[in-house]
Structures are given as structure tokens and as C-alpha cells.
Amino acid sequence: MKKDVADLDARLRAVEGRKPAVDISGELNLLSLAGHSTDGMIGLMPNLRFTGIGRGDYDETEVGMSRDLTMLHELAVTMSGSDGDDLSWSGTLVVGNMFGSLSMYGYNSPVDSTFFGAPQGQGYNSIPGGTYSEYDSDVYLRSLSVMFDGNLLGQGFGAEVGRVSHRVGRYLYQRPDYTTEYQSEAWDNGEHYFDGGILTFDFGDTSLNVFGGRNSDRLTTNGYEINGMMLFQMGDSEQMVDQSLGFEYDVPLGDSGGLKLAYIFLDSNTLSDGVNRNSVYGGELDFDLGGVTLFGSYSKSDLNENTDVVNDEDNEAYEVGLYHEGDGFAAGVRYREIDKYFFAPGDWGRVGVFWNPTDMEIGGAFVMFELNPTVDLVGYYEHAEVVDGSLLTAGDEIDSYTVMLNFDLNGGKKFGLSYEDTDYKLDGGDLYSRWYTARYSQPLGENSQFMLGYTFSDADLGEAAFKGGLLSTQIQIKF
């Protein structure tokens, strides 16, 4: 009997200790967006979405929340597993109507969506603008890859092959987050998605990443680009990046920071105005000077026809900044200049209604105070001046102010208030955009939360004036 019990105990331990062949996890999101107009004017959100616009018989009519109501849902299921210690795999399948609704322009807009000089968006990398809408439910593979860790010629080596995602740096290769009304790691992580691979070579403390593959025609079942990337943004150009190849070299600088260098080839199979390639290269530096962090960045984007240079002038971007973080206090200053022909697929921020601004010199500062252990006060200021006048007029100035108050409440609840005011001193007159925002979130369980937000807009942009708001609610469940 003792032997039988011992054998049964051994079998139970073996079964309980056995790792499942497939791990299943995921995320469910339910999002509602209710927009309204005010005083006969539609609203304009920070991501340049129009709100308070009717549908059907109320097409292009200023309406309230009940007629500008958008209900969205998304279920992302991730399956993963491994075969030994060195080989693993993972894939995420997404079902819902969130993708087309948040990545496309929408419809019924009484204001031209090219008003802000942006071409039509493409999937996760879509340029902001248009109205909110409900597109048909869709299915797509967000990721599906095999990962291998080992060594090559005595050096550390790793590979990820399949539908993968990657980012390099803010001015080089990083996807902007235009979904200000929706919180989800996959939408907000800044990574570009493509079919190909990422190879990692470790040389002591330094590492080299080689990444690339096919970028265009990665489609959902409804035929939408998952992460369509424009070769460059100028005029009515609709050239997309069809394939890419990038080299990223990371060098640690002791315990004080690191240096990142990169060279990325972005190729189009379409030749337009003698251009079919965008070569993006540069570096970014973070270095601790002893309580103060120095950030520096320099990037360039050359337009080519194959290996022949078409344009290598007025196409640089650089930034230098100093940041300090102490006990209950943080502050920083920075200066940056982005030339008018700088066309890297990066994410260097927003000034008022201008996302990833070019042809501007921009200086700014921020400060954060911890008023008490549960309340933070944050302030931002930026001043921008137009250099050559490619979109605006040379000498035009922009001043942007933002104030935020954040509260940590009991039980994991959070509440925040913010006010953003941007003044545009343009050749055509003095204009402005203002946004008032309140946000609240609370846990619903260990792996779920409820989020509520409201933004009111008040803007005069010369060709159009805006006044209206957007109420958003989101339930997020992770499993």
C-alpha cells in the first residue's frame, strides 16, 4: 500500500508539474465614444477627430451624444508555447470592429480631412483626422512569430521570425499613438508591425539588431492595411513602404546611459517624382551627468532613387535636452529643430494640432511637483517658430501650455484633470486651440479596469471654428 501511494504521489507531481503545451492569454476591450456639438459647432479632439456629427438623415449635421454614438469592441487572444529551452512561439489573433473604426478616417465630416495637411491614414500607423465611426467587424493576425535563442560563432544570438514588431527611437523608427481616447498596450507601444524578422547579435555589452521584411499589403480580412507606412509625407504622395531593412547598434556607456545608432532603408516598389527609397539614419544618446540626464538626438532622411540621392538637404532633425528627477520633483528643458523634408517614421510629439511637426524650431520645458503622496501637479510649455514656411509662413509662432493635476485615490482609483492651450501667431491672424480633459479609472478586479474620460474642445483655426466634446468609457479585461 505504501508503494502504491508513493507511485500515485509521483504520478500526480509529474502531472501537476508538467507545463501546458499551449498557454492562452488575451485582452478584451469594450469602448463607447459619444460626441456632441456646442453652439452649432462640431468638436475637435487632440487627435484631430471631429465630434458631434450626425449620421443617416443627420449627415453632416451638428448633433448631440445620442446621434454621434460609436460602440466598439475588440478581443485579442494570444497563444504561445515552447519546444525546449531555446525555441518558443507566439501569436495573437484579433477579432472586433475596433481596428477599422479607429484607424480609418470615418465619414460625414463637414470639414475636409486634409485640412491639417495629412494624407489618409493606414492601420496602426494612421495619421489622425476624420470622424469616429463603426466599421464592420474584422479579423487579423496582429503577431505570429517563432523565437530562437542560442549562439553563433561563440557569440550570443537570437532571432524572431514571422509577423513581428519593433521600434528604434523617437526620431528614427517609432509608431505614434493617435488613439488618445483608447488605452491598450498593443495600440500604444510605439512598435511598427511587419512580416519579416529581427536578428540580435550580442558582442559583449554591445548588441546589433538587424530587422526588416515586408511592410505593405499586410491586410485584415476586410482588406485594411495593418501598419501601412508612407514613404514620405508631402503633397498628395501615396507611396507606401513596401519593404524595409534596418540596422540598430546599442552601446552601453557604463552605468551612466547608452548610445543607439541606426541606419534604416525604406523602399517602395513605386517610383514617383524620381523617388523610391527613404534612407533614415542617426543616433540617440542618454547619459547621466550625476543627477541630471542629458538626451541628444540627430537624425537624417535622404530621398533616393535606388542608390542615387534625390534630396539630402533640409532633411535633418536634432534635439538636446536636460532632465532632473528628485524626491517629489522633476524638471527638464529641451530644444529641437526639425527640417521641412525630414520624413522618418518616428514619433517626436505634437505641438497643438501639428503631429510630428516639421519646418519648426521648438524650445520647451516641463516641471512636476508632488504636492503630497497622492497628488501630482505637472506643467508643460513649448514655443515653436516656423523656419522656411513649407506649410505655414516663415516666422509664424506657436505657444503651447499644458497643466495637469493627477490624484491617486483609495483602492487603486485614479483621477486626472488637464488643460491645454495653444496660441498660433500666424501671418493670417491669431488663432487658438484649447482642450479641457477629465479622466477617471478604477480596478474592477485583479486583471480588469474601468476608464471614463471627457474632453471639451474650443478652437478657432481660421478656416474653421470648433466647439464640442467627447465622452469615452472603456472596460478592459485581461486573462
- CA separation, residue 270 to residues 100, 235, 278, 357 (Å): 25, 16, 12, 26
User: Which pLDDT band, with edges at 50, 70 and 90, does 118 fall under?
Assistant: very low
Listed range (4-13, 113-122, 172-181, 364-373) with the worst mean pLDDT:
113-122
pLDDT class for 15, splitting at 50, 70, 90?
A: low
Using the structure block, give the residue that is written with the C-alpha cell 519593433.
166
Average predicted confidence (pLDDT) for the chain: 91
Those residues whose C-beta lies under 8 Å from the C-beta of residue 258, and which sit 6 or more positions away, are 250, 251, 252, 285, 286
119 — pLDDT class (breaks 50, 70, 90): very low
pLDDT in tens, 292-312: 999 999 999 999 999 999 999
d(CA 128, CA 49): 7
In this predicted structure, the answer to whether residue 129 has a pLDDT above a threshold of 90 is: no
User: What is the model's pLDDT at position 439?
Assistant: 98
Residue 127: other Cβ atoms inside 10 A:
23
Question: What would the mean pLDDT of 167-194 be, rounded to a whole number?
Answer: 94
Instruction: Determine the pLDDT at residue 151.
Output: 74
| Interior/surface letters 272-296, b for 16+ CB within 10 angstroms, e for the rest | eeebbbbbbbbbbbbeeeeeebebe
Res. 288: pLDDT tops 70: yes
pLDDT in tens, 342-381: 999 999 999 999 999 999 999 999 999 999 999 999 999 9
Higher pLDDT, residue 449 or 112: 449
Report residue 161's pLDDT band, with 50, 70 and 90 as the boundaries.
very high
In order, the DSSP letters of 191-247 are PEEEEEEEEEEEETTEEEEEEEEE-S--B-TTS-BSS--BS--STT---B--EEEEE
- The grid coordinates of residue 128 equal 489622425
Q: Which pLDDT value is given to residue 121? A: 52
What does the domain layout of the chain look like in residue ranges?
25-478
SS3 14: helix
So what's the pLDDT on residue 340? 94
Architecture per CATH, 25-478: Beta Barrel (2.40)
pLDDT in the model for residue 20: 66
- Bridge partners of 322, per DSSP, are 294, 333
Name which of 141-155, 272-286, 324-338, 355-369 the model is least confident about. Answer: 141-155
